Every structure is written in structure tokens, then in C-alpha cells.
Homo-oligomer: A and B are copies of this chain.
């Protein structure tokens, strides 16, 4: 299989980012409209090639996060997977490392270098069988969404969707938006309190509209949840 003349092939390395946030109680995904070929005019994930031979992969992801989402302080950046099928990019053999970013309120994205336009899309509008994204980005986005859903079960990143201080009702909206379900506020309240180090009290109270004012909380010291916050209908994952 290997002889003295054989040389391993070169590939191009790219990073793609699944960046999720919540606006108007809906889970939203950042997509750019591609300004250049290939797939010009189609929606795609923010991303790009490694800048040079010495740039770490995570650094490239942070750079793209800043360039295309205008987000400097990297919030939560999680390795998602590798997408390297030959033929996924007509420019040659491009292997993409995908990352998942979860962020609270974000500024309106500005169009990046290769992007004609960048917008927050509700995931239910864009991750449906009818909508096609550039490259294999529909697959990457679906994988990122699924990863976010399980990450919310076992880690405290849900609070990363929220501002500095938040109410448990707001935190519940995060879970409801990402999981796409309705939760019982009473059980949710109890479970969050039972999870050690998830949230801690902050300031007295506060409230916007009607109803009793809610306590304010901030992120706790823990990063993993004990016990986990499991999604409902867990056993129904089968497809009989």
C-alpha cells in the first residue's frame, strides 16, 4: 500500500460554526448568504479556511466568530465533528471542522468578507427538509442542534443563552426553545434548584409585565449538572 515514492495528499482545512442564540423566545441560527462561488447566493454557515499553517483550529473558529458574528468574547465553543467527504466542496478536498457556539443576546451580525448578508434564522424555518443550505451545512446544522439539545441536559450552558442575571422563567424559555417543548414551571423550578451549582441568587427581585416579581439569579460555579435535566419523552426516541 505504501512505497518509497508515495506522498500523503494535501487537503484544505476549514472551520464551520453553528452559532445559536435566542430571540423573541425562538431558537435562531446564524446563516450567511454566500457572496462568491461555489453556492453563490445560497445560505451557509459562517466559516472559512485556516488562515495560515500556524493557526490553531480553535483560533480559526474564534476568528470567524468575531468576523462573521461580530462576537469577540467567545462564549461557549464546543467541538462538533469533522465533515470531510470527498466531493463536499467543488474546490477540492476540503475537510471542515465544525463547532457549536451558544451565546446570549448578540448584536446584529455584519456581513463578512465572503458573506453578502448574515441573519438570524429561526431553526424551524431553516432546518426543514424543504430548505437546502450550501455544502453539507444542513447536516452540520442538524448535528449542531442535536448536540445543543443533549448538551443542555448535562451541562449548565443554558445559562449562557441568558444575560448576566436572569429569572428562572427566562431560563425555562431557553430549554423550551432549544428542545421545542413546553415544560411545567413548577417542576422546572424544583429541578433547577436541586441541581447543585447551576444558579445562585443575585439581587432582590425584578419584573417586567404583570404577575408576581421573580427572583434574579446568575450562573453558578458548576459546569456539569448533577443530576442532569433530562428532556421529556426520552424513551420515545425509538421509531416503531
Contact = CB atoms under 8 A, between A and B. Distances in A.
Interface of A: 1-2, 8-14, 49-57, 63, 67, 79, 81-82, 84-86, 92-93, 95, 97, 113-114, 222, 224, 226-227, 234-235, 237-238
24 contacts: A1-B51, A1-B113, A2-B113, A8-B14, A8-B51, A9-B49, A9-B51, A9-B52, A9-B53, A11-B11, A55-B86, A56-B86, A57-B82, A57-B84, A57-B85, A57-B95, A79-B81, A84-B97, A222-B238, A224-B237, A226-B234, A226-B235, A226-B237, A226-B238
Contacts of A11: 10-13, 50, 53
Copies, count: 2
A109 to B, nearest CB: 16
A95 B235 contact: no
Nearest to A59: B86
Nearest to A9: B53
Contacts of A238: 222, 226
A53 B97 contact: no
B1 A86 contact: no
Nearest to A197: B238
Nearest to A94: B8
Contacts of A84: 13, 56-57, 97
A226 B239 CA distance: 13
Nearest to A87: B54
A3 to B, nearest CB: 10
Contacts of A49: 8-9
Given A11-B10, A79-B82, A237-B224, A53 B93 contact: yes
- Which has the most chain B C-beta neighbours within 10 Å: A14, A79, A93? A93
Contacts of A53: 9-11, 86, 92-93
Contacts of A81: 79
Given A8-B51, A54-B93, A79-B81, 8 more contacts: A8-B49, A10-B12, A10-B53, A13-B84, A53-B93, A57-B85, A224-B237, A226-B238
